[in-house]
């Protein structure tokens, strides 16, 4: 099993090659499994080592039943024992998954309430609302519309 980090059109992908056969491969891309047909590949019979350059010509998604989307990961609130408040200094909102920022709805100095939509993130051809999990004043907006982000990248920092 080999893992690669691939950037396509400014978007980063984590690709794991699970298995190789004569002209196909089982791959996992950002957690979703696919079967890819490969042109110009030869595999040694004793081990799945590629000995000729490969070109992926098509990929198919697994059956719909196998493609159940997991809910996006959310960072834990700034304080689990007490609700966050305007004094949530140093708290931040991080990207729950890799994608591209479509819209930024807050500016530095804005007061944000818990659950307020602060950004829209496009990931895997879907728009995802990024909501604040803390209350406070925006100290810094780290990403702008059009920026590519990875899972865990800081989007907004609070004062």
pLDDT in tens, 78-121: 333 333 343 456 789 999 999 999 999 999 999 999 999 999 99
Predicted TM-score (pTM) of the model is: 0.46
CA distances from 46 to 43, 49, 53, 125 (A): 9, 9, 19, 39
CA 27, CA 48: separation in Å to the nearest integer? Answer: 14
| Residue from 43, 39, 62 nearest 51 by CA | 43
Nearest Cα to Cα of residue 25 among 56, 4, 64, 53: 56
Predicted confidence at residue 109, as pLDDT, reads 93
pLDDT at residue 28 greater than cutoff 60 = yes
Residue 16 CA to residue 137 CA, distance in Å, equals 40
Domains of the chain (ranges; CATH) run 2-64 (no CATH), 92-158 (2.40.50.100)
More confident residue, 156 or 31: 156
Instruction: State what percent of residues in the chain have pLDDT above 70.
Output: 68
The pLDDT, as a whole number, for residue 40 is 66
Q: How confident is the model at residue 41 (pLDDT cuts 50, 70, 90)?
A: low
Task: Report which of residues 39 and 52 the model is more confident about.
Answer: 39
Higher pLDDT, 30 or 92: 92
Q: Where are the alpha helices (DSSP H) in the chain?
A: none
> Which residues have C-beta within 8 Å of that of residue 129, sequence separation ≥ 6?
117, 119, 120
**Comparing C-alpha atoms, which of 75, 126, 118 is closest to residue 100?**
126
- Predicted confidence at residue 2, as pLDDT, reads 78
- Token readout for 79 is 């304080």
């Amino acid at each position: 099993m080999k893992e690669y980090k691939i950037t396509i059109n400014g978007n980063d992908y984590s690709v794991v090659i699970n298995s190789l056969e004569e002209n196909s491969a089982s791959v996992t891309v950002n957690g979703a499994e696919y079967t890819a047909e490969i042109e110009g590949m030869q595999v040694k019979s004793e081990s799945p080592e590629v000995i000729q350059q490969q070109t992926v010509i098509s990929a198919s998604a697994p059956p719909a039943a196998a493609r159940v989307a997991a809910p996006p990961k959310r960072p834990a609130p700034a304080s689990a024992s007490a609700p966050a408040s305007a004094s949530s200094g140093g708290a931040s909102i991080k990207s729950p998954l890799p994608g591209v920022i479509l819209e930024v709805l807050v500016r530095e100095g804005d007061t944000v309430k818990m659950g307020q939509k602060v950004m829209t993130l496009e990931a895997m051809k879907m728009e995802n609302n990024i909501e604040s999990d803390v209350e406070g004043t925006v100290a810094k907006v780290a990403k702008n519309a059009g920026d590519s982000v990875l899972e865990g990248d800081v989007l907004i920092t609070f004062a």
